[in-house]
Amino acid sequence: MQQSQPTMEPAARTSLNVEALRRDFPILTRTMRGKPFIYLDNGATSLKPQSVIDEEVRYYTELSANIHRGVYEFSEEASECYDQTRGIVARFLNAPSEREIVFTKSATESSNLIAYGWAMKNIKQGDEICISEIEHHANFVPWQALAERLGATLRLIPIDPGDASLDLSDLDRLINDRTRLVGITAMSNVTGYMPPIERILARARAVGAVTVVDGAQWVSHATVDVQKLDADFLIFSAHKMCGPTGVGVLYGREALLNEMDPFLFGGDMVLRVRKEKTVFRKAPEKFEAGTPNIAGVMAFGKAIEYLQNVGMKAIHEHEQDLLRYMVERASEIDGLVSYGPADLSTRGGIFSFNVGDAHPHDTGNILDEDGIAVRTGLHCAHPLMQALGIPGTVRASFYLYNTRAEVDRLIESIHRVRRIFS
């Protein structure tokens, strides 16, 4: 049985001026199915504020030049804006150097870059890779495929099926002196559960394994300090944190990045090309072959500035408030089963549930009729669904612009699902 026993505490309102923030997101003035649009699919991608949209448009209207190769003013300005964003990301993460920030196209590309650039070279037959059952496919499939290809063993930290948290009782066996790489999510995209990654990373370091933290759900909602985190790699995507699609980040320790092989080869990543041999640039440039998503990277810088102005702590507190309110209101619905630990302080702003016998897609369709966007199904986390023995869930995921009134609308709509399927 996966129903969590929520910790019921009176939900406190938080300091964000949400009504003012909402005006920054033009899409929130739209209607969907003729109803005011309620966006609760932030786990899939976030909405974009006007400043981010404007920066993307500014690149195409005012600059539109390629970077690192033109000597004319617009190209130089575009190069500067692109390169400055690397510094913005580094400061956001408290990274020691901006040379530790590689731009990719997504968190998925970032994990593949580690797999091809580091793991292919350093993992061999008989070695072990340890990840967990709650990983998103982006931090699961690359390691599974690599283990198969190299003859390595893939070990999985299992869940406690009672609440979909991780069962760490066997950690010392799962991460052992054959383990070469440990990959762990900082926040589940299905339940919002934030595993005790410090403990897992400490064990990985103790056996000398390289560590990869999947921050795709976490970085957008938390104050992240990579120096405190002390992981070798951190991956995430701009589009889940008010930025555009098509931009991802690989944070990596500089020494490790420099040891790694490039993954894509071509222009801009080279120092010198001769008929006989090519010399690559150092990281991060050696991983950014070809023309990157210049407009997207520039707009990502604006997204980070936007989030910093609002305040990551305030965002986190606001989401906690919404989660607590959601859990409290959901307890009034007969037959609603939710997934994830009862201790809500171990979770981010995600509420995954099922209603009676209704299939998640049917519930999603009814919510859609009411103007509410949620994600339904397996959430790119098939192994977790397999471990829970369920066909999927409905996922409401919150961000800075969501309100308690929207939670109320969601609850009303779930009551409608209940009536239709009773």
Nearer to ligand PLP, 45 or 354 (CB): 45
CB closer to ligand PLP out of 183 and 284: 183
In angstroms, the CA 422 to CA 334 distance is 10
Q: Is 350 in the site for ligand PLP (CB under 6 A)?
A: no
d(CA 396, CA 326): 10
Q: In degrees to the nearest 10, what's the CA dihedral of 144, 146, 147, 152? A: -160
Distance CA 52, CA 325 (A): 30
Q: Is 108 in the site for ligand PLP (CB under 6 A)?
A: yes
Task: Rule CB under 6 A: say whether 107 interacts with ligand PLP.
Answer: yes
Residue 136 binding ligand PLP, by CB under 6 A = yes
Q: How far is CA 381 from CA 140, 201, 240, 267, in A?
A: 9, 22, 17, 36
Return the closest-CA partner of residue 12 out of 307, 416, 314.
314
* Distance in angstroms (rounded) separating the CA atoms of residues 323 and 29: 24
Supply the minimum distance, in Å, between the C-beta of residue 120 and ligand PLP: 20
Phi, psi of 187 (to 5 degrees): -160, 125
> Smallest gap, in angstroms, from Cβ of residue 107 to ligand PLP?
4
Nearer to ligand PLP, 237 or 338 (CB): 237
Residue 47 lies near ligand PLP (rule: CB under 6 A): no
Part of the chain binding ligand PLP (CB under 6 A), chosen from 75-83, 134-142, 199-207, 414-422: 134-142
Nearer to ligand PLP among residue 216 and residue 312 (C-beta): 216
What are 305's two structure tokens? 């500035």
Spatial contact of 136 and 110, defined as CB atoms under 8 Å apart? no
Q: Closer to ligand PLP by CB, 395 or 409: give it.
A: 395
Of 277-306, binders to ligand PLP (CB under 6 A) are none
| Least distance to ligand PLP, CB of residue 3, Å | 23
Q: Which of 78, 114, 138, 312 binds ligand PLP (CB under 6 A)?
A: 138
Nearest CA-CA partner of 1 in 161, 133, 190: 161
Least distance in Å: CB of 336 to ligand PLP?
Answer: 23
Minimum CB–partner distance for residue 394 and ligand PLP (Å): 16
* Catalytically annotated residues: 380
Please report which helix (H) or strand (E) contains residue 166, including its range.
strand 165-166
Among residues 106, 211, 376, 397, the one that binds ligand PLP under rule CB under 6 A = 106
What's the closest the beta carbon of residue 165 comes to ligand PLP, in angstroms?
16
Integer Cα distance of 376 and 359 in angstroms: 9
The residue (of 18 and 141) whose beta carbon lies closer to ligand PLP is 141
Q: Does 112 sit near ligand PLP (CB under 6 A)?
A: no
Q: Examine residue 247 and tell whether it contacts ligand PLP (CB under 6 A).
A: no
CA–CA separation, 320 vs 12, rounded Å? 9
Amino acid at 134: I
Nearer to ligand PLP, 241 or 295 (CB): 241
Torsion sign across C-alpha atoms 225, 228, 234, 236: negative
376 binds ligand PLP (CB under 6 A): no
Total binding residues toward ligand PLP, as defined by CB under 6 A: 12
**Of 295, 267, 243, residue with least CA distance to 107:** 243
Dist CA 305 CA 287 (whole Å): 25
Quote the CA–CA distance of 130 and 185 in Å, as a whole number: 12
Cβ 141 to ligand PLP, closest distance in Å? 11
Q: Does 414 bind ligand PLP (CB under 6 A)?
A: no
Site for ligand PLP in 185-244 (CB under 6 A): 185, 189, 214, 216-217, 237
Assign 156 to helix, strand or coil: strand
Hey, which residues does 347 pair with through a beta bridge? 193
Q: Which stretch in 136-144, 155-163, 272-280, 414-422 sits in contact with ligand PLP by CB under 6 A?
A: 136-144
Distance, in Å, from the CA atom of 343 to the CA atom of 4, rounded to the nearest integer, reads 9
| Site residues for ligand PLP per CB under 6 A | 106-108, 136, 138-139, 185, 189, 214, 216-217, 237
